[in-house]
A and B are shown apart, each in its own frame.
Chain A
Amino acid sequence: MFTRSRLIIVAVCLLALGAVLANAPLVSSQGLTITAAAIEGDLPIDAPDSALWQQATAVEVPMSAQMIARPIMPETNAKAITVRALHNNAEIAFLLEWQDATRNDTTLRVDDFRDSVAIQFPVGEGQPFYCMGQQGGDVNIWHWKADWQASLIAQQNLQTTYPNLAVDQYPFTEPAENIYLAAYADRNYLTAEAAGNYLALPTHGSPVEDLVAGGFGTLTTQPLAGQNVRGFGEWRDGVWRVIFSRELTSTEAEDVMLAPEKLYAVAFAAWDGANQERNGSKSTSQWVSFQLASAPGTGAAAPAGAAAQAPLTASVAATQPTGFNPLFWGFIALLILIPLGVGVVMLYFYLGNKA
């Protein structure tokens, strides 16, 4: 026989179950820690196949589509990035590997989009919003681009893209044997370049763009002199292997500063050009803990003890695990809990009346 007290126990259990269900995907990238193994000597900054990478523990970081700011592409292609990191007390290098069936390394044609990958660090203390940071919580972003990489290997130009191209002249260029490669005498005709847009430079010294952001739409290229992140990327058999490297310290306020035995946060994003992924249409990770091992050869840091620093804000979305859409699950939880609550209350009074 149901009694009121028994019913209360059942109801409490059901509610607890509902609460657990609503919070179900507790496995999050926040539980992960990437540790940069300390080695001696030069880092393998352009050698993804180097044996040195074996000294670093590989961490698979789950990725999911950015679902917060429009434009949203619910189906992005990168589902995980495998990350390794090495440092030699002066420099740090990350090796990122992820699956991508096609190599998209040109942006010359109007419907060409590049494959690319990015690492993001909070500039200051604490964790700002994991997607592009937030006002007062800047993030330093290193963005590697497949087309910039390809151009470093062999300059891409209109002629390589359109072998049958025929143009009589390009006014305001220097006399040259090949007009498709002729330098511009007047930069104003390369409008974006003349306006100081770093993207528009005909060549880039590194395939990595060093940026700073403080919220959606605020992404800003660091000044030319501050472009201090190097990179190397290679696509083979459906996998991109991309290395980022930089000195641990930097004199710039917009750069992350790295030192051993401190716990940092790091996040990743990847874009598949074949799927026309660009800007907010991307796969992202949550913040992942990151630290530098202290002594060469150990490959692991002293136990970090505390978890990564507390988030800057109590933003719900910012602290949710990967693939967890708070709106969706909140809605589902409400769908379960409200009828359940109503039912329990009704039953309570029903039984109360009977008794």
Chain B
Amino acid sequence: MPDVYNWHLGRTMTYPYPEAHPTKQFAAVFNINRCIGCQTCTGSCKATWTFSRGQEYMWWNNVETKPYGSYPQHWDVKVLQLLDEAHQAAGVQPQWDHSQASEQAPYGVYNGLTLTEASGPNEQVLGYLPAESEWRSPNFYEDTSTGYKGGAYGLSPDGASLPEHQAWFFYLMRICNHCTYPACLAACPRKAIYKREEDGIVLIDQERCRGYRKCVQACPYKKSMYRGTTQVSEKCVGCYPRVEGADPLSDGVPMETRCMAVCPGKIRLNGLVDVAEDGSWVENPKHPLYFLVRMEQIALPLYPQFGTEPNIYYIPPRWAPRPYLRQMFGPGVDHAIERYTAPSRELLAVLQLFRTTQKMIFRYEIEEGPLVREAEINGKPWQMYNDTVIGFDAKDREIVRLSVVEPLHERPMERLNSI
């Protein structure tokens, strides 16, 4: 099997196909801290793509309450367990060596096995096929927190405080990660799955697919789904007509997907990043995704150890236990939370861009504003400036302009109760 370079892992890994990269990659940053669990994203995808016969159980976008919720049930625990068993069988103690972090390996080097490396001689990818019952009740355990141990009746007399809450949950919003090294694609014996050259979106060829469900078995995130009424599998299409700029509203430039553009919690920022021939992101400090993922490093891949190099990046929740978060997002968690808790002047401005325009932002500029607040965070002084951030579309036209301090409008007396 060829070796491919996975920058999430800081090393090469085995994959059934040789390395080849799209020119641009569909990517997004999801800010878990801000999600309100409203499922508007989930509903928007359903209303756009999966309202037909045979798709009833499909939620290409889903939001689950961690640590207990999962769709399909226990997908993460099951895949982690499989990987754990493979490590034990191979006598490998999987570890991240953060000291080896570099430009090519921002999170350091992972020495464990990935799912393509742990698959054994008979399969391309280590995985499992969820039972039909596991796809049911997609929001089971909604808002269920871990129990508080200590106070009477499970109540804390002092409330909760950072850095870690004892009773905690958080929402995990998930779509297909349009992985750089898709496990679904690796496992398909028909080569019916392909990654688009122009945007890295991963699609299942509906004509070639024969419903073998090897992709369903292989995708660790369980984002490839079988449709019984057509006997083939389907998956999140990355709303590719919008990404192509084919939507009449888009004026010919790439638009954010449906699930991103509807988010009332303003937690999502979707775009296309330039990819170099070696798979790395072309340096572009004024691209909001490049800035958040590569420069500030506050957004992290979900389960990077699976080895698919997923392209949805998460700002981890500040209040959840760090070991749990490190298992989920890798060793970059502490740094990310630290940066997010006391954001730099530029980061605070860029964070305003989330979900403010349907068009994808390809570049931002900042106009500096006055100092508006000074505070101490984690024992260090911190300043807030009312800067203005301006977003530009693919044709470099201004599409959005926002200030860090939200403009306040006071309603005149005579209209006090009107809406």
Where the two chains meet, the residues of A that have a C-beta atom closer than 8 Å to any C-beta of B are: 69-74, 107-112, 158, 161, 165, 167, 170-173, 180, 184, 189-197, 199-200, 202, 216-217, 219, 276, 278-280
Q: Do residues B231 and A107 form an inter-chain contact, with CB atoms below 8 A?
A: yes
Q: Which of B54, B225, B234 has the most CB of A within 10 A?
A: B54
Question: Which chain B positions have C-beta within 8 A of A194?
Answer: 206
How far does the Cβ of A268 sit from chain B's closest Cβ, in whole Å?
A: 19
Docked Cα-Cα span, A191 to B205, in Å, equals: 10
In the complex, what residue of chain B is closest to A180 when comparing beta carbons?
Answer: B53
* Residues on A with beta carbons closer than 8 Å to the beta carbon of B228: 107-110, 112, 158, 161
Q: Can you name 18 extra interface pairs (CB under 8 A) apart from A111-B129, A191-B227?
A: A70-B121, A70-B122, A107-B211, A109-B132, A109-B228, A112-B132, A170-B53, A191-B206, A191-B234, A197-B207, A197-B208, A199-B211, A199-B230, A202-B229, A216-B189, A217-B191, A278-B212, A279-B190
CB distance from A288 to the nearest CB of B (A): 25
| Count, chain B residues at interface, CB 8 A | 39
| Residue from B214, B225, B231 within 8 A of A71 (CB atoms) | B214
Q: Is B56 located at the chain interface by the 8 A CB criterion?
A: yes
Question: In the complex the two chains form, what is the Cα distance from A192 to B132 in whole Å?
Answer: 21
| Interface pair B210/A219, CB less than 8 Å apart | yes
B216 within 8 A of A: yes
On whether the beta carbons of A158 and B206 are closer than 8 Å, the reply is: no
Say how far A182's CB is from chain B's closest CB, in angstroms: 8
Distance of A327 from chain B, by nearest CB (Å): 11
Q: Which residue of B191, B207, B214 contacts A192 across the interface (Cβ within 8 Å)?
A: B207
User: Which residues on the A side are within 8 Å of B129 (C-beta)?
Assistant: 111, 276
- Is B257 in contact with chain A by the CB < 8 A criterion? no
In the bound complex, do residue B230 and residue A279 qualify as a contact, i.e. CB atoms below 8 Å apart? no
Please state if B132 and A200 are interface contacts (CB–CB under 8 Å): no
Contacts A/B (CB < 8 Å), 19 sampled: A69-B189, A70-B122, A107-B211, A107-B231, A109-B132, A110-B130, A172-B52, A180-B53, A189-B51, A191-B230, A192-B206, A193-B230, A195-B207, A196-B207, A197-B206, A200-B232, A217-B190, A219-B190, A219-B210
Contacting residues, chain A, for B73 (C-beta < 8 A)? none
Q: Which of B52, B135, B207, B209 interacts with A110 by CB under 8 Å?
A: B135
Q: Assess the A70–B132 pair: CB atoms within 8 A.
A: no
Residues B57 and A171 in contact, CB atoms below 8 Å apart:
no
* Mask: chain B, 29-60; 1 = CB below 8 Å from A; 0 = not: 00000000000000000000001111011000
Quick check: is B226 within 8 A (CB to CB) of the other chain? yes
Interface bits B217-238 vs A (CB < 8 Å: 1, else 0): 0000000011111111010000
- Do the beta carbons of B209 and A217 come within 8 Å of each other? no
Q: Measured between alpha carbons, how far is A138 from B132 in the docked complex, in Å?
A: 37
Shortest CB-to-CB span from B1 to chain A, Å, is: 10
Among residues of A, the one whose C-beta sits closest to the C-beta of B234 is A191
Query: Is B57 a contact of A279 with CB atoms below 8 Å?
Result: no
| Chain A min CB distance to B233 (Å) | 9
Q: A70-B123, A110-B225, A200-B231 in contact; A279/B216 too (CB < 8 A)?
A: no
Contact A192 B209 (CB under 8 A): yes
Per a CB cutoff under 8 Å, which of A69, A189, A196 touches B52? A189
Q: How far is the CA of A200 from the CA of B131 in the complex (A)?
A: 22
Give the chain A neighbours of B214 by CB distance below 8 A. 71, 279
Measured in the bound complex, the distance between the Cα atoms of B227 and A276 in whole Å is 16
In contact, A73 and B131 (Cβ under 8 angstroms): no
Q: How far is the CA of A303 from the CA of B208 in the complex (A)?
A: 43
A73–B120 alpha-carbon span in the complex (Å): 12
Say yes or no for B124: interface residue by CB 8 A criterion.
Answer: yes
Partner of B189, one of A71, A110, A193, A276: A71
Residues from chain A with Cβ under 8 Å of B206 in the complex: 191-192, 194-195, 197, 200
Chain B residues near A191 (CB, 8 Å)? 206, 227, 230, 234
Chain A residues in 8 Å Cβ range of B207: 192, 195-197
Residues of A within 8 A of B205 (CB): 195
Q: Are B56 and A167 in contact (CB under 8 A)?
A: yes
When distances are taken between beta carbons in the complex, the residues of chain B under 8 Å from A280 are 189
Is the CB of B213 closer than 8 A to any CB of chain A? yes
User: Which A residues are CB-close (under 8 A) to B212?
Assistant: 278-279
B227 / chain A contacts, CB cutoff of 8 Å: 191-192
Tell me the complex Cα distance, A290–B135, Å: 47
Q: Do A217 and B189 touch (CB < 8 A)?
A: yes
What 4 A-B pairs come out closest when comparing CB atoms? Answer: A108-B228, A195-B206, A200-B230, A72-B122
Docked complex Cα distance between A112 and B205 (Å):
21
In the bound complex, residues from chain A placing their C-beta under 8 Å from that of B210 are: 199, 219, 279
